[in-house]
Every structure is written in C-alpha cells, then in structure tokens.
Chain A
C-alpha cells in the first residue's frame, strides 16, 4: 500500500537477483557427466540395482514349504 513498503519489497527482490546473477555455473555437459559418474560408482552398493536376494533382504521372507 504505502510507497516505502513497495520500495523495500522491490529492493529485496533486486538484491536477491543480484546475488543469484553472480553465482558460478558449470555447463550441463559437465554437471550431467558428474551425476552419471556418481550413479555408476555407487551402482554396486545400490540393492535395488544389484537385486538383493531373499536370504539377505529382510523384507523378502523365504517361502516356507510344508509337506503334507
């Protein structure tokens, strides 16, 4: 409503934008390569990729056979 509070709000927006404009950025090709590298390096430790067998996954209970 008042002129001065509009100016305060606007100044905050401009200060935030100045801050964001100044950050360092890398190319997507580099960033993407690093995201992919992380996945590859950790793939063997990811049970959902390696497939955890019934004997080691506590949620996959082994089927119990009963002989009649």
Chain B
C-alpha cells in the first residue's frame, strides 16, 4: 500500500509530525516483535552438544614482501593463491604453498584497503583512497606490465573499503566511505544498482552463499549491519546492536546468519530468520576492536583478528573462546579461511601475512 508511494508524495493527513510519531511507533513495534521470539539463547540450545577438543593451529607460512601495513587479502578458488593489498600501494599475488610472489602491481594511490580474487582466478580487483575499484587481468607472462591492462570499474565519492566479485568475473560489488554500496558491470563499468541506507562510511560487505539467493550484508560506522536485495536495491533487514563501528561482516556458511566484528571489542552473530542478534563473542579481557572475522567450513568456528595483535577462535554455538593465536607484531587487519577449509590466512599492520593450519 503506502510502502509503494513516492516519498515526496504525502498521503492524506501526513505531516512531518505524524511521520515522526509513526516512526517511533514502528521502531517500538519492531523491538516488541523481536522480543516475543526471544525464547532462548543460542548457547543454551548448544549445551547438549560435545565441546570441541583441544585446538592447535600454528603459523605454517609467513609471506613477507609488503613494505607497509597489509590491509586486505583474498583467496583464489584454487586454494593456494592469495592476493593481498597494502598501505604502500602494492597489490601482490602469492603462491601460499611456496610463498613465492607471482605478480605485483603498484597502484597510483596509497592505502589499498580492498582487494578480491576473481572466481576464474584470472583477475584481481582492488582499490582504496583512489575512490575506485579497478580490475587487473593476471597474465601468465610474469614480465608483462599488469598496470597496462588495468580497467577502472567502480567510481565512488570517497574511499573504497571493500570489493567482491559476484558469482562470475562479470560483476563486482563495492562498499565505500561515501556511505553506499554499489553493483557494477565489469566490462562496461556501468552502475547496475546502488544501495542507500547507511548513514556513515560502509566498511565491509559479504555476499550470501550462492545457494541462498541474491542478497548481501554490509556493515559500517553507523553501527548498523544491513541486508540487501541485490536486484531491487532494497534494504530487507537491518540490525543495530553494536556499540561502535562494524569493521567486518561475514555470512554463516548456511546463509541463515552472519557474524560481525566491531570496534566495541565484540563479535556478534545475527540470525536472519529470527531477525535478531543471537550471540555475542566477548570477554572482559578483550578490549581492542575486532577488525575481521571468518567462519570455518561447518560454521562451528569463528576466527577473529583484533587490534591487540591477536586472533581469537570462538566456538560459534557455545559462545566460548577455544584458542588465542599469537604471532603478529601489530594489528591484525584481515582474516580469511581458505576455500577448502584446511587453513586460514591473516594479514597485519606488521606488513606480513601468515598462513595458519
């Protein structure tokens, strides 16, 4: 009914005052509806399952080569290659098995905050303070100048914080300090859809696992996590329980929930069908922000990198910490589990990447 009306057309009797009142009423109703369904906590449901055994993971590889803070990384679907980007403007493609560098590109800007591997493994996308997302096809000829084939795809009005290819090399989803997310056609550079709703910088986005349809989640400096319909641009669900910036969002592997990492030193789990937060991963001793999170293949483990240089591993169902991993000598900025789930990679302001298994 009214939901379809043009926003600049007021229905009969609507004034700014009636709209404000309705807004308050609806917010209260949302809280009430969500609270009615809050009959149990996730960790209570999980009391009956077996606790996890002793968890041992060590650094198996250290990738050295960046001149400054590592800001982002992504795995290739081949489970062995990795792309990483840094404050020094460099984007490097590595073979994680051998630690060899296969490609290196110098971007025209510093603070390359976002990078992503194309599903085909034949290209990488990156961007940052240049406000753009560019795609570089990877050449088999290592002497070829990658920068010559660069294609500018996305244009924002502030820094690029995150980028991700969709299910093919043909489309890229971006998030930006300008408060929006956008979907782009790689070939033409055309803007296909834009996503408005955050009221401050968007810091992270993650696509739903392909089986669950065309949605993605974003998180930002307005402390909100928003779920979006990619085709319509509609914000379908919104969650606001964090007390500070959300630095990272990541879907649970079933697609029915997502985790967040925040400057409020907590990670949280939000279930999409219950439409609410269902778990908080925190400890009094953890006082620094969580910058990056990712799940193990079954969703039972949540790896989270923190600004206190550590990585905490959480039992997602029971809500307890199962391990704390030391090794980095500065903030951990990015954490990603490999496509086959055998290892995870962490990137840090100490300019290195580590592979843990």
Chain A residues with a Cβ under 8 A of chain B:
3-4, 6-8, 10-21, 23, 25-36, 38-40, 42-43, 45-49, 52, 57-61
Contacts and interface: CB of A to CB of B under 8 A. Distances in A.
Interface string B224-258: 00000000001111100000000000001110110
Contact of B355 (A12, A17, A40, A59): A59
Contacts of B235: 16
Given A12-B7, A59-B60, A47 B297 contact: yes
Most-contacted residue by chain B among A39, A49, A57 (CB, 10 A): A39
B343 interface: yes
Contact of B19 (A14, A29, A47): A14
A3 B117 CA distance: 46
Most-contacted residue by chain A among B14, B57, B275, B355 (CB, 10 A): B275
A8 B5 CA distance: 11
Contacts of A17: 22-23, 26-27, 30
B7 A58 contact: no
Contacts of B297: 42, 45-48
Interface of B: 2-3, 5, 7-8, 10, 14-16, 19-20, 22-23, 26-27, 29-30, 33-34, 37-42, 45-46, 49, 52, 57, 60-61, 80, 96-97, 197, 234-238, 252-254, 256-257, 271, 273-276, 278, 296-301, 316-317, 340-343, 355, 357
